């Protein structure tokens, strides 16, 4: 027997042991790589959680600011000393504030859906018709003075300014009672 034949089983055993050792080393490397990946992932998740918490705080602040502004402008609109109306192209009241409802001597809820022209006195109907047509054709702010009231019951003289906003085919009116100046 040659020296090589004697070493063959030893060489083969050595090879098997080396492969086994390599697998164990790879497992250890894989485990350390896995631990490293888990640490990186954990770090990213923690950073992302903090970012989300910060975004949530900003959203809460923005919501509080928006709610404050909504309350402020709702109060400003609803309780303004002048009447505010939103009319469609036919003159139907879509929205109005409390002062506007007071000028028309009815409840706000009852007035939505009615035509504003019904509250214009007969004497002022031609003036209001020209004004309303100009508002929708001129693309600029228009104004007029008319009398509000039913038939012969004239409730008040008013100064009206109106405009149609671009992209919206509705007319916004501000109406001021000028009866005390007309006496």
Residue 157 · residue 147 · CB < 8 Å: yes
* Predicted TM-score (pTM) of this structure: 0.68
Q: What is the mean pLDDT of the chain?
A: 86
Q: What confidence score (pLDDT) does residue 9 get? A: 67
Whether the pLDDT of residue 1 is over 50: the answer is: no
Q: What confidence score (pLDDT) does residue 111 get? A: 96
Per-residue pLDDT averaged across 116-131, rounded?
94
Q: What confidence score (pLDDT) does residue 31 get? A: 65
The CATH homologous superfamily to which domain 80-181 belongs is PAS domain (3.30.450.20)
Confidence of residue 170 (pLDDT cuts 50, 70, 90): very high
Per-residue pLDDT averaged across 43-67, rounded?
91
Per-residue pLDDT averaged across 9-29, rounded?
74
Q: What confidence score (pLDDT) does residue 84 get? A: 97
Quickly list DSSP for the chain.
--HHHHHHHHHHHHHHHHHHHHHHHHHHHHHHHHHHHHHHHHHHHHHHHHHHHHHHHHHHHHHHHHHHHHHHHHHHHHT-SSEEEEE-TT-BEEEE-HHHHHHTTS-HHHHTTSBGGGGB-GGGHHHHHHHHHHHHHHSS-EEEEEEEEETTEEEEEEEEEEEE-TT---EEEEEEE-GGG--
Per the model's pLDDT, the better-predicted residue between 169 and 3 turns out to be 169
Rounded distance, CA 122 to CA 160, Å? 17
Query: Cβ atoms within 10 A of the Cβ of 62, count?
Result: 10
Domain spans, the chain: 1-78, 80-181
């Amino acid at each position: 027997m040659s020296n090589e034949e004697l070493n063959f089983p030893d060489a083969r055993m050595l090879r098997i042991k080396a492969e086994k050792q390599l697998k164990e080393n790879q497992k250890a490397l894989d485990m350390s790589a896995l631990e490293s990946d888990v640490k990186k992932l954990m770090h990213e998740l923690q950073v992302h959680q903090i970012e989300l918490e910060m975004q949530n705080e900003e959203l809460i602040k923005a919501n509080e600011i928006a709610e404050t502004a909504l309350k402020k402008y709702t109060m400003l609109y609803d309780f303004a000393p002048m009447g505010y109306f939103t009319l469609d192209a036919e003159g139907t009241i879509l929205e109005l504030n409390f002062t506007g409802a007071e000028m028309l001597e009815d409840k706000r809820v009852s007035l939505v859906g009615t035509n504003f022209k019904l509250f214009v006195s007969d004497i002022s109907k031609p003036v209001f018709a020209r004004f309303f047509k100009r508002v929708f054709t001129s693309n600029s702010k228009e104004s007029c003075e008319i009398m509000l009231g039913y038939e012969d019951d004239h409730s008040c003289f008013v100064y009206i300014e109106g405009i149609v906003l671009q992209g919206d085919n509705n007319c916004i009116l501000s109406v001021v009672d000028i009866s005390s100046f007309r006496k």
